[in-house]
Amino acid sequence: MEKQKLIRRIGSARLEVRANMEPVDGDLALIAKQIPEGWPAPAASDVYVCSAMVCNDIVDHYSTRFTPEALAEIVNLIIGVNIMRNHVEYGESALPIARVFAADLVKQADGLYVRMRFYWERGTAFGDEMARKVALGIWREVSLSWWMRSFTNSIDGKPFDESPYYAGQELPDGQTVVGIMADIVEVNEVSVVPRGGQKNTSMNPSRAGGFSGADVMEMVAASRARAHEHDKQPPWFRKFFKS
């Protein structure tokens, strides 16, 4: 049987903070579904609640974008996923700090977004400190980590490891190659980060770079094998893959 090809990606978004971060409407009923069987359902005094427009179908700073169908898949897969301190899982950082309990699709003027809602404990030293950092805008972005089966280019529709194109490539006719992300199979986790790459969700939407070399490595590994001439690569590629 042919081995399934999966691609891991990371992208970020800005938090949305509502007054006092208290649960509203049906939040508590949804949070209760995440509580282990036999334990009492949480009260409003037990939890903080926050949300984030975590990703969208706009072409991002990586020259990639989700399909609307991929966003719908993320909505279904993200429920119950851990919120982590960062994407590096070791020591204390391997323990979750919050959990996603709801998600939906939101249509904005500039595109389609996935909004997730998550909760963490109220009344503990760490939980109250986390709420304080969120309220003051110190912790303001989170990063989604996911796996997908399909990463194709917008020119010929082929996977990047079967095509001469790479994401962000500027063609002579003025087109820019876009990586199309689809068939999402898993959402690993969501982490607190300093900056992100999704447009109109990051701390600094006009930023053209600044994501980690590890993130780029996973995204362009196939393209790099096809594009050998370093001086023809986009600026973000040259930055992380110096000859």
| pTM, two decimal places | 0.76
Nearest by Cα to 52 from 202, 188, 215: 202
Decide if 191 contacts 84 (C-beta within 8 A).
yes
Domain boundaries, the chain: 7-240
Contacts of 160 (CB under 8 A, 6+ apart): 151, 152, 153, 166, 167, 179, 220, 222, 223, 226
Q: Which residue has the tokens 């009492």?
A: 40
Q: What share of the chain is helix, strand, coil (3-state, %, to 5)?
A: 25, 35, 40
- What is the predicted pLDDT for the residue at 139? 87
- What is the predicted pLDDT for the residue at 239? 46
Nearest by Cα to 112 from 53, 160, 63, 165: 53
pLDDT in tens, the chain (243 residues): 344 566 666 665 667 766 678 898 899 999 999 999 999 999 999 999 998 888 899 998 789 999 999 999 999 999 999 999 887 766 666 789 999 999 999 998 889 999 999 999 999 999 999 999 988 888 888 888 899 999 999 999 999 889 899 999 999 999 999 999 999 999 999 888 876 556 554 322 222 333 333 343 344 444 444 444 444 455 444 444 443
Q: Give the torsion sign (CA, 98, 99, 102, 106).
A: positive
- What is the predicted pLDDT for the residue at 19? 67
